[in-house]
Homo-oligomer: A and B are copies of this chain.
């Protein structure tokens, strides 16, 4: 038996999306409709009813973990997702290049994204990583650039803590905030961590400001990438690996670092699909082809598609609707043709609702579809939010991967 688990990020919507319909309802999705006809659908609350999910917490829940038990911040998944090696005790951050100007006792953030820098990031990261912290003896760090201004930062040393605030003022023209221990967690480790971070970002300006890459940017009239903003302090969560729980090996195919990182933290192996970008321009046919190839050696594949959520955050109804149509035609279609349906189950869902007029995650439940030989087929013949509300699976919380694996008879028994 094989299993395929697909999450279209921010898939679900609201009737305000497109003239009384959600983008998913407005989209033409003959392949998903056919799978709904062959299988069973329902509504899933990604975490629990009424809980507005983050992408990280929702994915942990869909993958079978209790985010209230295991979630310890987002940065660690970003670090893992861009290929950094994280060890227990490391404190990890989402980080990015920014443009600042020095103020009398700090730095004013002029551009939180350093003009969405598109070249030279890796040279800047190299220069940054050459710094040694002088006050914070014994604390090492690693900054890794990913796409544009984005990256991840990892702190390593004895007795560090994830309970520190961010330095991102979240608005241009504001002063970069000093890292501080979070009230109630302000122990020695948190103080030590905040001190190291403040030292690091101060040095970052010194090292980056006159760097040849920024001299070149200056000549081109672009904002220099001369400072590091870091947020989402986190540590490696204690997740029982999926292989330990179910005895099966899986691969993740995801252009987005976060989702790849979460899957890695669960023990999946990452596979690159050429052209997978984590954006609306991603190559969905390549993802389908890569998944079908991976199924020859792995027991299951987890495919994450990010474009739906990007369009939702950008309040782009047409973009979200047409991307859903592309998922149907370019990802679901080839998988339908390539999977051996006598020996496989597939689950398709979203990790939350991202309505167009709000442009951020909301708590409404999300449609979910299971198909394969062991699924009790229901009477639905179309896939969408309101069809799912009439589906044979009714409504339940999280746990999509465990349910998918249960159909494959891979689930461990609780009790005897």
Check if A54 sits within 8 Å of B415, measured CB to CB: yes
**Closest residue to A375 on the B side, CB-wise?**
B15
* Least CB distance, A41 to chain B, in whole angstroms: 10
A49 to B360, CA, bound (A): 27
How far, in Å, is A13 (CB) from chain B's closest CB? 9
Selecting from A114-122, A248-256, A269-277, A387-395, the interface stretch reads A387-395
How far, in angstroms, from A52 to B64 measured CA to CA in the complex? 13
Task: Give the distance in Å from the alpha carbon of A52 to the alpha carbon of B399 in the complex.
Answer: 12
Shortest Cβ distance from residue A262 to the other chain B in the assembled complex, whole angstroms: 11
A230 to chain B, nearest CB (A): 14
Q: Which of B22, B374, B396, B416 meets A45, CB within 8 Å?
A: B396
Closest to A370 in B: B364
Contact B15 A374 (CB under 8 A): yes
* Chain A, range 389-411, C-beta contacts under 8 Å to B: 389-400, 402-403, 406, 409, 411
A14 near B414: Cβ-Cβ < 8 Å? no
Selected contact of A52 from candidates B14, B40, B54, B413, CB within 8 Å: B413
Residues A412 and B49 in contact, CB atoms below 8 Å apart: no
In contact, A414 and B51 (Cβ under 8 angstroms): yes
Number of copies: 2
Given contacts A54-B415, A374-B355, A389-B393, contact A399 B49 (CB under 8 A): yes
Which of chain B's residues have a CB closer than 8 A to the CB of A391? 389
Pick the most buried of A42, A360, A377, A389: most chain B CB atoms within 10 A of its CB: A389
Report the 5 A-B pairs with minimum CB-CB distance, sorted nearest first. A54-B415, A57-B415, A50-B399, A394-B395, A389-B392
Q: Which residues of B contact A394 (CB under 8 A)?
A: 42-43, 389, 394-395
Beta-carbon contact of A396 and B49 below 8 Å: yes
| Least distance between A365 CB and chain B CB atoms (Å) | 8
The residues of B that contact A42 with a CB separation of less than 8 Å are 394-395
